[in-house]
Structure 1
Amino acid sequence: MRNRYRGFTTVNMSGPKTRRVFVLLLLGTALIFSFAGAFAMIQAENSIGSSELSKWTSHISDKTLVMVMGGEIPYLKEHVQASGMEKMVSRLIFELMTSIDFRDPRTFLGRELPMFALFDSEIDVASEDVDYTSIPIESPPPAELEKEILKGLKESESADDPLVQEPAKGGVKTKRVLVYNTHFWESYLPELGKKQPGQASDLNKNVTYLSKHLVKQLEKMGVGAIFTQKQYTWQGSYVKSRKMVQAVMKQHDDIEYLIDIHRDALPRSKTTLVSGQDGKAYARFAFIVGRSSKNFEENLQFARYLHKRINELHPGLSRAVVIKERTNGNNGEYNQSLSPNSILVEVGGVGNHFEETYRSLDILAKVLAEKIHDAVPVSGEPAKP
């Protein structure tokens, strides 16, 4: 209701109609903000993330990026000579369309040579002698071995082949460490009496020996450990080993540490250390951390600790901590989402002996036992040697 008083118009704001208008305005404003917020969230989800943008721009050379940024930052533009501008524009277009940089052979060879793509792995920390030629390499088993595995699986299907578990008899009751081998067929040429790197695979004499040895050593040090094994083929091996690990973890609730032991495909010269302490040969370690794991940061810290502590005890025994993404055939997760204390460790290469790997595993067992004893009291008595 409007009233006039001494030349001024007064409005009664307490009327029912006015109150309804204000309520509607408030509700309308709230709805507008709600829709705007929801739209912004949807756009954020559909937009290119920083990690994706990093991958997209990783193929672009530094000079090309300087040229692009120079459009907004005059200072940078001054450092880009006009004579080379046309070449840089054409190079930018080419790099964006093909992801190829002619000054970096990896950008076009990696697609044609599968093993070459492994050089995209990131070395987090490493010993002084390690470079990208020392990056661990995975190799599939020979076709004949795959056929042998398939034959064995068919024969065991009718018997409902059980999950094989081998806890140490008379050992520590509470099991905190699970040791297994995703690529159980990986072996060592000297142990098989063979010379060709592609022949370093065997269904019986392989890295499962290493897992059993590590379990035995951990038990001696008062750490409950268990080894599990099941045969399967190369294709989808990490999916299959994941199911195996999950089955064991359901039966042993106290398992916190997962150790997946592998054998590197690199030659002996890259994977062997002759100790300055005792003059003996040791199989060198390389720790692999999957960036796609939800526990990436925790597992990375775990790997860094192992690398540092091992090299304090035996300088150079641990080659590196290597980060791998889910790309170019890499799994990038390696079952490490199952525990924040998961690690994939390469023990030696195709040219090492079991004896050399055992020496190294004794040191790994010592470092693991130190960490686990410091983290939580271990129940039970150590197994007798």
Structure 2
Amino acid sequence: MRNQYRGFTTVNLSRPGQRRVFVLLILGTALIFSIAGAFAMFQAKNSMQTSDLSKVTSHLSDKTLVMLIGGEVPYLQEHVQAYGIEKMVSRLIFEMATSIDFRDPRTFLGRELPLFALFDTEIDVASSDVDYTSIPIESPPPPELEKEILKGMQGSESSNDEESLPDAELRQGANTKHVLIYNTHFWESYLPELGETNPGKASDVDKNVTQISKYMAKQLEKMGVGAMTVQRKYTWNSSYAKSRKMVQSVMKQNDDLQYLIDIHRDSLPRNKTTIKGKDGKTYARLAFVVGGSSKNYEKNLKLARYLHNRVNQIFPGLSRAVVIKKRTNGNNGEYNQSLSPNSTLVEVGGVGNNFEEAYRSVDILAKVLTERVLDATPVMGQPQKP
């Protein structure tokens, strides 16, 4: 029953029916908020990757991070008190907004001069002609290719099924599969193969570095090393997180896999990525990238050094360098190399090379990797214990 009292409407809830409606209204509202909250948490859990968080924290200085953590860790609280909460908040907002650290002058120039970020990469070992202008560069595919990839993903029934096994190709020959070859940036291709001259167009959904992976797997099998390739289409955004799930799904079903090889194509021009052999033929030069933020960093670095040095023993200068990239200024810094202590990312040539030049180089790389695998694998096919 409604009553008017000094301009306000009052409702009499003394009747059972009215009380029931009021209670149901409150419960319904609470249920709606609960469902909305649960949905938001589910979305955050599935969309928020470690790599996404690292993109934020990588822009913060170590002092700022210590101050943030100090709010929860008693041992560090004295640092917060000494600095002052007002300064901490203003510093945090400034660094997140500008990605500038006053103690590192490079942060003033890195965003305006993209190639300046190359100096965040460390050259571990290199051929005599290699300097910072020869460091591997990643580049996203053109927007039109992204749209083509998305269209292909929408037409695939299993494209969003993370638990399904991706398209995996097991090579006939050796039964035990020790090597998995995949391509995080599967679209990377070579200009001569596409009839293009614009470096920004060196990408293709079908004619790309996945052919290099399949070729290398065949060569390994001929030499007695079990190998397999795997591929799935996905876009540039969070590509390493997506390829990680792809590799993990294959590893779950193949316990013998020890070596993970992620094949890429560099964005550098032909004069930086080509070398002529004694046979008069041209080869696509190699480069090995090690994730400095991986938990297996030391072991993966040891593997990359071995491959680089042995390749250059066979063909001096074929391997340009071993470079280390830590998680900073947009670098992934991990490159899925925490999945195995025998992981490496190898750049096979650049935009100006072609498949034949890449195949010639992969022949040598496969030979070197075969030596490594067979030396570490007993006759019975089981890996040696450390």
Q: Same fold (TM over 0.5)?
A: yes
TM-superposed deviation, 1:109: 2.1
Return the alpha-carbon distance in structure 2 between the equivalents of residues 246 and 329 of structure 1.
Answer: 24
Structure 2: give runs of 5+ residues left out of the alignment.
1-72, 81-99, 382-386
Deviations 1:293-318 (A, max 9, x none): 00000000000000000000000000
Count of aligned pairs: 287
Give 1:233's aligned residue.
Answer: 235
Give 2:258's aligned residue.
Answer: 256
Give 1:64's aligned residue.
Answer: none
SS at match of 2:287: strand
Return the alpha-carbon distance in structure 2 between the equivalents of residues 309 and 131 of structure 1.
Answer: 20
Letter in 1 for 2:149: I
SS at match of 1:145: helix
1:352 aligns with 2:332: no
Give 1:164's aligned residue.
Answer: 167
1:185 aligns with 2:193: no
Return the alpha-carbon distance in structure 2 between the equivalents of residues 283 and 335 of structure 1.
Answer: 24
Give 1:112's aligned residue.
Answer: 112
- CA RMSD of the aligned region, Å? 2.2
Give 1:204's aligned residue.
Answer: 206
* Contact 2:120-2:328 at 8 Å conserved across structures: no
Deviations 1:62-111 (A, max 9, x none): xxxxxxxxxxxxxxxxxxxxxxxxxxxxxxxxxx972354xxxx553212
Any runs of at least 4 consecutive aligned residues in structure 1 with deviations exceeding 3 A, and if so which? 41-48, 157-162
Give 1:129's aligned residue.
Answer: 129
* Contact 1:223-1:378 at 8 Å conserved across structures: no
Return the alpha-carbon distance in structure 2 between the equivalents of residues 97 and 248 of structure 1.
Answer: 41
Letter in 1 for 2:215: H
Return the alpha-carbon distance in structure 2 between the equivalents of residues 267 and 230 of structure 1.
Answer: 27
* Contact 1:173-1:379 at 8 Å conserved across structures: no
Return the alpha-carbon distance in structure 2 between the equivalents of residues 100 and 142 of structure 1.
Answer: 32
Letter in 1 for 2:176: T
Give 1:98's aligned residue.
Answer: 102
Give 1:175's aligned residue.
Answer: 177
* Contact 1:289-1:344 at 8 Å conserved across structures: yes
Pair 1:114–1:127, CA change in 2 (3 A): same
Percent identity reads 70
Give 1:43's aligned residue.
Answer: 75
* Contact 1:221-1:369 at 8 Å conserved across structures: yes
Give 2:146's aligned residue.
Answer: 146
Q: How does 1:1-385 map to 2 (within 5 A)?
A: 43=75, 98-99=102-103, 101=105, 106-157=106-157, 163-168=166-171, 170-275=172-277, 277-377=278-378
Return the alpha-carbon distance in structure 1 between the equivalents of residues 78 and 230 of structure 2.
Answer: 42
TM-superposed deviation, 1:351: 0.2
SS at match of 1:233: coil
Pair 1:203–1:45, CA change in 2 (3 A): farther
TM-superposed deviation, 1:44: 7.5
* Contact 1:222-1:378 at 8 Å conserved across structures: no
SS at match of 1:176: strand
Pair 1:97–1:274, CA change in 2 (3 A): closer
Deviations 1:233-284 (A, max 9, x none): 0000000000000000011000000000000000000000111x21210100
Return the alpha-carbon distance in structure 1 between the equivalents of residues 78 and 283 of structure 2.
Answer: 50
Return the alpha-carbon distance in structure 2 between the equivalents of residues 213 and 192 of structure 1.
Answer: 19
Greater Rg, structure 1 or structure 2? 1
Structure 1: give runs of 5+ residues left out of the alignment.
1-40, 49-95, 381-385
Return the alpha-carbon distance in structure 2 between the equivalents of residues 255 and 45 of structure 1.
Answer: 46
Return the alpha-carbon distance in structure 1 between the equivalents of residues 379 and 351 of structure 2.
Answer: 36
Letter in 2 for 1:149: I
Return the alpha-carbon distance in structure 1 between the equivalents of residues 78 and 267 of structure 2.
Answer: 40
SS at match of 1:211: helix
Return the alpha-carbon distance in structure 2 between the equivalents of residues 116 and 283 of structure 1.
Answer: 25
Letter in 1 for 2:247: V
Return the alpha-carbon distance in structure 2 between the equivalents of residues 100 and 358 of structure 1.
Answer: 42
Return the alpha-carbon distance in structure 1 between the equivalents of residues 129 and 348 of structure 2.
Answer: 17
Return the alpha-carbon distance in structure 2 between the equivalents of residues 229 and 158 of structure 1.
Answer: 13
Return the alpha-carbon distance in structure 1 between the equivalents of residues 302 and 79 of structure 2.
Answer: 31
TM-superposed deviation, 1:334: 0.2
SS at match of 2:200: helix
TM-superposed deviation, 1:160: 6.9
Deviations 1:326-356 (A, max 9, x none): 1111100000000000000000000001000
Pair 1:326–1:351, CA change in 2 (3 A): same
Letter in 2 for 1:116: F
TM-superposed deviation, 1:156: 1.2
Deviations 1:99-128 (A, max 9, x none): 354xxxx55321223343122200000000
TM-superposed deviation, 1:377: 2.5
Give 1:9's aligned residue.
Answer: none
Return the alpha-carbon distance in structure 1 between the equivalents of residues 261 and 364 of structure 2.
Answer: 15
SS at match of 1:302: helix
Letter in 2 for 1:147: K
| TM-score of the two chains, using structure 2 as the length reference | 0.71
* Contact 1:291-1:333 at 8 Å conserved across structures: yes
Return the alpha-carbon distance in structure 2 between the equivalents of residues 158 and 319 of structure 1.
Answer: 39
Pair 1:124–1:46, CA change in 2 (3 A): farther
